[in-house]
Amino acid sequence: MNLGVVGNPRYRDLGALLAHLAEAAPRLGIALFSEEGLLPLWPEPKPARLNAATALDCLLTLGGDGTLLRGARTLNGSNVPLLGVNLGRVGFLTTASTQNFDWALDALVRRAYATEPRLALLPSIVNKQGQARTEPLVLNDVVVHKGGVARVVRLRVAVDGDDVGQYSADGIIISTPTGSTAYSLSAGGPIVVPGVDAIVLTAICPHTLAVRPLVLPSAVTVSIEPIPPWPEEVLLSFDGQVGTTIQPGERLLVRRAERPVLLIRLGPEGFFARMRKKLQWGDLSDRERK
């Protein structure tokens, strides 16, 4: 089995976990491929570089949800499943932890797991001449937001060329069902169960009570164009990790990616169980009974 490894070096236990993985890999028949930034943390002999792998059977992410999102971006639409190991606090998207790491590796080798296909987004920016540049694959959300001063930005929104209207807000979040429990949820958007084929459009602090989140079919193309003039840069961020700016005359197009991201799930725990545990959904245990 060819196993790619992506990790967050800020977690202090990562080095020990990598050493344990390097020791277990030969016994399990695993060939390891590591991202460049982790190579100093591995014991000798170092694994091969991730970009040297001709084919991967799985990508292992060691960190939190942010590391898993970066792993999905690394795969860039390839049909390789992701196994997330949580080294942080919430880890809503991950399925394993340091406590059950050996069990997770064994299940991975035996292929005793299920995969959840997660809708991903492919954003692009189109200039005045109609030329498009493609941005990174997105698993959670694309966010259009203002920089600098505390003023709203005006945005023109269309869906499949049909004008939705003008938004005056701090920004707009275009979210997948996976990302509906992230920034979109904080901005008042709905939780969308991952199996629902939809895209969520949520305004950030809209300057009118008439604007509410929209749930759209996943087949549509969402267009967002800032309305000039604007006082500061209008920024785009992708999964909250990478970003760019949008210039006058340019517009953002967001459409469904051709392939979903495949998340590995171990054991019987489903989405609602994770929601109750990770988000304390419906938890009233801290209230005294009267």
Positive or negative, the CA dihedral 37, 42, 44, 48 is negative
**Which helix (H) or strand (E) segment is 73 a member of?**
helix 65-75
Residue with tokens 């040297």: 52
117 neighbors 161 (Cβ within 8 angstroms): no
55 neighbors 81 (Cβ within 8 angstroms): no
Residue with tokens 């309305």: 227
Residue with tokens 């995969």: 115
Angle at 66 between CA 216 and CA 276, to 5 degrees: 70
Catalytically annotated residue among 57, 65, 102, 197: 65
Angle at 252 between CA 248 and CA 256, to 5 degrees: 175
What are phi and psi for residue 273, nearest 5 degrees? -65, -40
197 a catalytic residue: no
CA–CA separation, 211 vs 95, rounded Å? 36
Checking 103-110 for CB contacts under 8 A at 24+ apart, the result is: 103/266, 104/266, 105/21, 105/24, 105/28, 105/30, 106/28, 107/266, 108/1, 108/3, 108/58, 108/83, 108/264, 109/1, 109/28, 109/29, 109/30
**Catalytic residue numbers, as ranges:** 65
